């Protein structure tokens, strides 16, 4: 009987590990909407989503101009909407995102509009409807492939 109980306990270990949830470690004393670390338990499937870029939001603006894609906030919302749609297509949500890499471009002669980025970002993360926060890196780069793009975002999600 002891051998049967031991075998049952050993077989249950992988199931118990798979039943664990992703753990998001927030920064103590901070309200900044990112996790300082995210733990993914064994047995979870990791999904890597390619970098997404903004869509044209102003057809009346000159083709290929920053104005045709919008300011940093507009471009960020456009990119995050594309990410959200991609995740939905594969039965995931923004709440399943555990890591985000953000590439921001500063228009020539200006600083990168991090405030505009955050205004777009906080529409999708750290909200009452979607409170889960990813670990995140934000980098300022010289340029993206299209000179009119101000932001590119790639994410990693975990299948629940």
CA 46 to chain centre: 13
The number of beta carbons lying within 10 Å of the beta carbon of residue 141 is 13
How high is the pLDDT of residue 93?
98
The number of beta carbons lying within 10 Å of the beta carbon of residue 130 is 15
What's the CATH architecture for 21-159?
Answer: 2-Layer Sandwich (3.30)
How would residue 148 be classed by pLDDT, with cut points 50, 70 and 90? very high
Structure tokens at 72: 């940093």
Residue 114 DSSP symbol:
H
Which pLDDT tens digit goes with each residue over 44-102?
A: 999 999 999 999 999 999 999 999 999 999 999 999 999 999 999 999 999 999 999 99
Tally the C-alpha atoms within 13 A of residue 31's C-alpha that lie toward its C-beta.
Answer: 2
Q: What is the rounded CA–CA span in Å between residue 23 and residue 112?
A: 31
Which pLDDT tens digit goes with each residue over 104-133?
A: 999 888 999 999 999 999 999 999 999 999
Structure tokens at 140: 């300022």
What angle do the packed helices 114-121 and 72-89 form, to 10 degrees? 30
Cα(first)–Cα(last) distance of the chain, in Å?
35
Listed in order, strand segments (DSSP E) in 53-108 are 97-105
* Domain boundaries along the sequence of the chain: 21-159
């Amino acid at each position: 009987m002891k051998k049967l109980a031991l075998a049952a306990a050993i077989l249950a270990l992988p199931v118990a590990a798979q039943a664990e949830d992703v753990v998001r470690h927030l920064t103590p004393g901070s309200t900044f909407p990112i996790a300082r670390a995210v733990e993914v338990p064994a047995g979870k499937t990791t999904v890597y989503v390619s970098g997404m870029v903004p869509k044209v939001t102003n057809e009346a603006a000159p083709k290929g101009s920053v104005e045709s894609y919008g300011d940093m906030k507009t471009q960020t919302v456009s990119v995050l909407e594309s990410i959200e749609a991609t995740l939905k297509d594969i039965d995931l949500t923004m709440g399943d995102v555990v890591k985000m890499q953000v590439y921001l471009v500063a228009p020539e002669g200006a600083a990168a509009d991090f405030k505009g980025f955050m205004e777009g970002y906080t529409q999708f993360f750290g909200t009452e409807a979607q409170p889960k926060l990813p670990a995140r890196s934000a980098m300022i780069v010289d340029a993206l492939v299209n000179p009119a793009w101000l932001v590119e975002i790639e994410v990693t999600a975990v299948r629940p």
